[in-house]
Structure 1
Amino acid sequence: MIHYVAETGSTNSDLAARLAAGERVPEGDWLVVDRQSAGRGRQGRAWNDGAGNFMGSTVIHPTPHDPPRNTLALLAGVALHEVVGELVPPPAKVQLKWPNDLMVGGAKMAGILLEGTGDAVVLGIGVNLAQAPELPDRETIAMAQFGPAPDRDTFAERLAAQWKADLERWRTYGLAPLVNRWEAAAHPKGTRLAAEIAGEGRIAGTFDGLTEEGAARLRLDNGEVRAIHAGELSYA
């Protein structure tokens, strides 16, 4: 079920508060908002408002038999790519950047944030359907730049259905198919990327695919291959 509200601070925060209060929010339920005043992305970045854009959150209740919950980031990226990729006409190409940024060229079209709340995980997604927010540290782009902006409610229904199907595949078939799908949707191997490593600073190299566990492989200029398990990659 999709619940629409006119305005809130953050759909992720709203669902987290309900979970913290003891409510069991069902998987498959989404909270979608018209206007959002306190949305956020990874590393505390603001990702607010945007009339006509998609801003919504849902809840996952991991079980002991599920793949590692950190791979939900890859799963969310793949599901979102399936929906958006069908709506952006060529020659534009929608690609994933590890772990789950949706990019067109060097511009960000969508963002994903997963937050643990007790035994549950809250998944928040923001997609630039009608307009692209101005961000100080990166270029952004909206789907409206390639034609009429998709209807927000129709987009929400398609995304909810895709997420439900992919969540079931993740639980049934494990990581191998997910890693293959993610690599097929991502920038090609050999793409120049950089990562910020705690205690080490910035390292740069070329994308060399994913490990079996879903970490990004970065081939450094000296030939060493590093597995990036946390943080994010940027185009170098």
Structure 2
Amino acid sequence: MRFVERTGSTNTDLLDAPDAHEGDWLVAARQDSGRGRQNRNWESPAGNFHGSTLVRLQPGDPQPSSLSLAAGLALIRAVEAAAPATGLMLKWPNDLLLGSAKLAGILLERQGDRVVAGFGVNLAHAPTIPGRETAALSGIALVSPEAFAPLLAASFARELARWRSDPEGLVALWLESAHPLGAPLSVHFSAEEKIEGRFAGLAEDGALRLSLPSGEERRIHAADVSLGTA
């Protein structure tokens, strides 16, 4: 595991490192160009966790898109180990909530047989996100990035092994830590396009199964999801 004081993006650095191996981690005290899904800016103040790790896809691996489930499960287990937090919940596709507020996010990026999983965790500060409630773990316990990093690395290694050996078991464990089946969801494809329905579980590739009011089921592979309906 390598720690740096400052960089643009830990995800970009790992993707641009041709000699990086699976299991390598890069953790930065600050990021100047941190980003979330759909290239949104991710504020990266000192005291929060900003780190990425590399996965090398192998023949026989499950569908790469389902790696988001392993990453999410690893994240919630690491936070549970770091602090006696209650009210933690995974929200598809890549958020960790504390109550109704966003505590952490994950960004997976692929380049050939290399997938980088980047984690941003509000350990000390809850940055402002327009239209979103945010939270920091410091309201419960003081955890440094240096202390959190090995917890997350060990948790991710366990869940990566589970992803390869027992993908069905991984899905079941993810569901235990997520919004319950039947929960009302709003799925936003863009500012203009939105559908509503109820959470019907996950597909093998990690897609969201959404039960529509018509009784039909739709599989969602990429979108923003919020709990509840308008």
Q: CA deviation at 1:137?
A: 2.9
Partner residue of 1:212?
A: 204
Secondary structure of 1:85's partner? Answer: helix
Point out the more displaced range, 180-189 or 225-234. Answer: 225-234
1:115-163: per-residue Cα shift (whole Å, max 9, x none)? 11232111110000011111113111000112x3212211100110111
- How far 1:204 moved relative to its partner? 0.5
Q: TM-score, normalised by structure 1?
A: 0.90
Q: Deviations over 1:161-215 (max 9, x none)?
A: 1111211121122x211110110010112222111347x9210011122123322
Q: Identity over aligned residues, as a percent?
A: 48
Query: 1:53-92 counterparts in 2 under 5 A?
Result: 53-89=48-84, 92=86
The aligned runs of 1:1-236 (5 Å cut-off) are 2-18=1-17, 23-89=18-84, 92-146=86-140, 148-173=141-166, 175-197=167-189, 201-235=193-227, 236=229
Runs of at least 5 residues in structure 1 that lack an aligned partner in the other structure = none
- Mapped contact 2:65–2:205 kept (Cα < 8 A): no
Query: How many residues are aligned here?
Result: 227
> How far did 1:69 drift?
0.6
TM-score by length of 2: 0.93
Structure 2 residues without counterparts, runs of 5 or longer: none
The amino acid that maps onto 1:122 is V
1:74-108: CA deviations, max 9, x gaps? 11001101111334435x31101111210122211
2-structure distance, mates of 1:47, 1:116? 19
Q: Deviations over 1:15-57 (max 9, x none)?
A: 1222xxxx22011111000111110000111112221111001
Provide runs of 4+ in structure 1 moved above 6 Å.
none
- Counterpart CA distance in 1 for 2:188 and 2:144 is 37
What is the root-mean-square deviation of aligned Cα atoms in Å?
Answer: 1.6
- Residues in 2 aligned to 1:42 and 1:14: alpha-carbon distance in whole angstroms: 17
Distance in 1 separating the partners of 2:148 and 2:55: 20
Is the contact made by 2:124 and 2:138 (CA closer than 8 Å) also made in structure 1? yes
Amino acid at match of 1:152: P
Q: Is the 8 A contact 2:82 2:148 kept in 1?
A: no
Shift of 1:12: 0.7
| Conserved? CA contact 1:93–1:105, under 8 Å | yes
SS at match of 1:154: helix
